[in-house]
Amino acid sequence: MINPWLQFIISAVVIVYAGSKLTKNAAVVADCIGIGTAWVGALMLPLATSLPELVTTLRAVTIDTPDLAVGNILGSCLYNLSLLALIDMIEGRGPLTSKVGKGHIIPASLSVISVCLAAIAMLGITGLKIGWVSFETLLIAGLYFYGSMLLFKYEKKNQPVLTDIEEVPENNRASGGVALLNFGIAALFIVVAGVLVTDALDLIAVQTGLGHSFVGSLFLAVSTSLPETVTTVSAVRLGYLDMAVANVFGANFMNLFIIFIADFVYRNGALLHAVNETHLFSALLVILISTVIIFGLTYRSTERKTRVGFDTILALAGYLLVLVVIFRSGGKL
């Protein structure tokens, strides 16, 4: 059996390398099909980067630990929002929300609505179910498909119109097919490596005596979000700022869709009806931080009193606050 530390290092290296390839090829695909990098970042990248969260969440529901499943999703959403502060620090030329397109308001708003629906289900206000699946998670699934279509239409509508002279050459279209194939290969490597790095850190946590303690849970949460971190940073360094921001909101939107999948797999009743109400704290912070970011995208302040914007600072502070609360509660939240 391979040493878990070696497995972690090798898997992390694979994720870093494949993540950069994923971002580059996603940009080529966006250019060739005539759609913005925001749509690619919001929908294409999360299909690959969110799969480790899908695997760990489905594992949690199959062993009948619904709190772990929902905690993993909401924790990942908060971590992803904190990445906005990292993007802002790397870019470092004034508030981030003043430099990206307003189209990010769409996935951000849809994510907020989805979290609100999840919170309603957790409170058991309606108690509605279709089979064993809660009505609210079905709405989340419908919202995901509707939102994907809405974002695609928005990006197509707001793309510059090409003249006959500017039309995409045939060789570029061919390169788009190659880029799509390379994207799929890189995504496969990220999925496999993402699962392996999560397994490795789980073993390390047990071997070092961390187990399911605060530090052990933190390692697991960060490991499942490593693909998002790598692809986001890679997009910023390549100059695709809109793709980086879209990846954050798109990953959260995808994570909430995973709740529907987990609810379908969980056969002991509606998943969100079975979890502790303490998860509402994390849900509330996701809503609060996302709303502040939406305000920043709308107001678009250009003041440069600090290296990063107030809204992204709040995103990081919100994630750190959750960690403190989890630590003080002994990891029970």
Question: For residue range 213-232, what is the model confidence (pLDDT) as tens digits?
Answer: 555 556 666 777 788 888 88
Q: What is the percent of the chain with per-residue pLDDT over 90, rounded to a whole number?
A: 16
Cβ-Cβ contacts under 8 Å for 191 (sequence gap 6 or more): 48, 51, 52
pLDDT surpassing 60 at residue 128: yes
Structural tokens at position 161: 């119109």
Q: Say what the pLDDT of residue 303 is.
A: 60
* Contact status, residue 228 vs residue 247, Cβ threshold 8 Å: yes
Q: Which amino acid is at 157?
A: K
Question: For residue range 156-213, what is the model confidence (pLDDT) as tens digits?
Answer: 777 654 333 344 444 445 577 788 888 888 888 888 887 787 778 777 767 776 555 5
Range picked from 15-29, 87-101, 254-268 for highest mean pLDDT: 254-268
pLDDT surpassing 60 at residue 102: yes
Q: Say what the pLDDT of residue 66 is.
A: 86
Enumerate domains of the chain plus CATH numbers: 4-328 (1.20.1420.30)
| DSSP secondary structure letters along 167-181 | SPPHHHHHHHHHHHH
CB atoms within 10 A of CB 101: 17
Q: pLDDT band at residue 301, thresholds of 50, 70 and 90?
A: low
Give the HSE-up count for residue 164: Cα atoms under 13 Å, Cβ half-sphere.
0
More confident residue, 102 or 77: 77
Segment 106-125 shows an average pLDDT of: 92
CB atoms within 10 A of CB 65: 15
Q: Say what the pLDDT of residue 167 is.
A: 44
Segment 150-160 shows an average pLDDT of: 76
Closest to 113 (Cα-Cα) out of 271, 252, 318, 272: 252
Segment 314-323 shows an average pLDDT of: 78
Q: Say what the pLDDT of residue 259 is.
A: 94
Q: Say what the pLDDT of residue 171 is.
A: 47
Q: pLDDT band at residue 257, thresholds of 50, 70 and 90?
A: very high
